[in-house]
Amino acid sequence: MISLERLMSRFETMAAITAPGLPGINRLAFTDSDWQGREYLMSLMRDARLSLHVDSFGNVIGRRAGKDESLPAVMFGSHGDSVPSGGNFDGVVGILSAIEVMQSLDEDGITTKAPLECVLFMCEESSRFGAATLGSRAMCGELTEEDTLRYADKNGVTLHDVLMSRGLSPASLASANYLSYHDALPRAFLEVHIEQGKVLDTSHEKIGVVTGIAAPTRMRVHIHGSADHSGATPMELRRDGMCAAAEAILAVEQSANEASGIATKKSDDENDKAAAPASRPPVVGTVGVVEAAPNAMNVIPGEVTLGIDIRSIDYDAKRAVVDKIKSRIDDIMTRRGISYDIEPISDEKPIAISKEMVDFLSSICEEHGVAYRAMMSGAGHDAMHWAERVPTGMLFIPCRDGISHNPAESAKPEDIVTAARLLEDAVKKLGNT
């Protein structure tokens, strides 16, 4: 049986595994606290009598044998890392409910026809290396050793070095590919996750059955202004990187607003217009990173780097916004006489979840008498890599006020347990058909 008490005590243990002295949860990928969380989750997998496989990227698969071991496995799980000063539910809800399902099946003596695999993905969050879902990418054969040399954290430490320091093997990253040690991909992949938005919390439905996942296009814009004396340089002789960056940031907002049918917020009147429902698929644009050098009061900012993230469920709408942003940035920099370059980080395709899977998970919600809604995911998840390859489903639970990536992130125990029960039922059904 899925146990609320056991699940809650495990959330408490995970909450205590965080880098000290910082607000919220801090388990940045491959740091000591992330590694400690991974050790704990592995111990829970062993408690559930799973046989563990660790791949060359550090992903952990806990397997429960099926009656017919020649069948492809049903896989389910999530990630254990966090953003800086994040919450204890993003990722954790998915991996702890997956382990709970395995524990429950073991206690109830249930063996499915197909083997079951509970998976802990490493490095889902992009906070450390600027790229997300790296563990899933490794497992899907989409991450190379060259990539690990290219990705570095803000201290300049490469992912390659980080993997080596954890005793992992970036040189044999190809062996992390699921198909390098299995004849076939899993027959299905399932992930439970907090919604990370306000839709369910506002509508009071208990479960979101995900119909598609918006995927990010990310880039860094390096603006090469001139770092001159802030007192001795008259205004007309400046090439201020930060002022150019400020215009570029607003160009991102304006471009995403226009694509979403929203007036850019300038006055109360226009804010009223912004409240009108958008008829087009929404595109969201964010500049979440601004780095200025030399970052001194008495120097005009020269080198400025912006980190831009654009998302939509509609790839063409997203592409159009990216193109618009690039052309606006070009106009701004040309007008200001400032050179710049754009470093592409990622350009991922939004993912559609199959109607069969949406219907399957919806029917399970109905059987359990759980109020649910079919909905899109605005955030990216490990599941998107699997959805391109195998039947994939996601269940969302509400999070309080839609807050996520924040110490205030919170989900109700009863919603977590509901999701774990639905997951168990889905896994049993998929494992026996």
191 part of the interface to Zn ion, by CB under 5 A: no
Would you say 72 or 378 has its CB closer to Zn ion? Answer: 378
In the complex, the smallest distance separating the C-beta of residue 79 from Zn ion, rounded to whole angstroms, is 6
81 part of the interface to Zn ion, by CB under 5 A: no
Look-up of token digits 């701004």: 332
- Long-range Cβ pairs for the range 413-418 (8 Å, 24+): 413/4, 413/7, 413/8, 414/4, 415/206, 415/207, 416/7, 416/11, 416/93, 416/96, 416/97, 417/2, 417/4, 417/7, 418/206, 418/207, 418/368, 418/370
Given 91, 115, 216, 225, the residue binding Zn ion (CB under 5 A): 91
Would you say 226 or 346 has its CB closer to Zn ion? Answer: 346
130 part of the interface to Zn ion, by CB under 5 A: no
90 part of the interface to Zn ion, by CB under 5 A: yes
In the complex, the smallest distance separating the C-beta of residue 405 from Zn ion, rounded to whole angstroms, is 9
Rounded to whole angstroms, how far apart are CA atoms 197 and 147? 31
In the complex, the smallest distance separating the C-beta of residue 93 from Zn ion, rounded to whole angstroms, is 9
| Cα 106-110-111 angle, rounded to 5 deg | 100
In the complex, the smallest distance separating the C-beta of residue 379 from Zn ion, rounded to whole angstroms, is 7
Select from 59-67, 83-91, 205-213, 266-274 the region that touches Zn ion (CB under 5 A): 83-91
37 part of the interface to Zn ion, by CB under 5 A: no
Rounded to whole angstroms, how far apart are CA atoms 269 and 256? 19
| Cα 19-34-353 angle, rounded to 5 deg | 130
In the complex, the smallest distance separating the C-beta of residue 73 from Zn ion, rounded to whole angstroms, is 22
Select from 38-46, 85-93, 315-323, 335-343 the region that touches Zn ion (CB under 5 A): 85-93
Sequence-ordered alpha helix ranges (H) in 16-110: 32-47, 92-107
Q: How many residues bind Zn ion (CB under 5 A)?
A: 2
| Cα 360-62-36 angle, rounded to 5 deg | 115
Select from 82-90, 157-165, 210-218, 222-230 the region that touches Zn ion (CB under 5 A): 82-90
Amino acid code (one letter) for 146: E
Would you say 306 or 399 has its CB closer to Zn ion? Answer: 399
Select from 33-41, 84-92, 99-107, 153-161 the region that touches Zn ion (CB under 5 A): 84-92
DSSP 377-409: ESS--THHHHHTTS-EEEEEE--GGG--SSTT-
In the complex, the smallest distance separating the C-beta of residue 86 from Zn ion, rounded to whole angstroms, is 9
Select from 8-16, 42-50, 88-96, 241-249 the region that touches Zn ion (CB under 5 A): 88-96
β-strands 392-397, 207-213 pairing: antiparallel
Handedness of CA 393, 397, 401, 407 (dihedral sign): negative
In the complex, the smallest distance separating the C-beta of residue 14 from Zn ion, rounded to whole angstroms, is 14
Site mask, Zn ion, residues 339-358, x = CB under 5 A? --------------------
In the complex, the smallest distance separating the C-beta of residue 215 from Zn ion, rounded to whole angstroms, is 14
Select from 89-97, 137-145, 281-289, 401-409 the region that touches Zn ion (CB under 5 A): 89-97
Select from 87-95, 234-242, 258-266, 399-407 the region that touches Zn ion (CB under 5 A): 87-95
Would you say 120 or 322 has its CB closer to Zn ion? Answer: 120
382 part of the interface to Zn ion, by CB under 5 A: no
281 part of the interface to Zn ion, by CB under 5 A: no
Q: Please tell me the total number of residues recorded for the chain in this structure.
A: 433
In the complex, the smallest distance separating the C-beta of residue 384 from Zn ion, rounded to whole angstroms, is 11
Would you say 91 or 398 has its CB closer to Zn ion? Answer: 91
Rounded to whole angstroms, how far apart are CA atoms 199 and 40? 32
In the complex, the smallest distance separating the C-beta of residue 404 from Zn ion, rounded to whole angstroms, is 8
307 part of the interface to Zn ion, by CB under 5 A: no
Q: How far is CA 306 from CA 93, 242, 392, in A?
A: 32, 10, 34
Cβ atoms of 194 and 91 within 8 Å: the answer is: no
Rounded to whole angstroms, how far apart are CA atoms 325 and 287? 12
| Cα 160-161-162 angle, rounded to 5 deg | 90
| Residues binding Zn ion (CB under 5 A) | 90-91
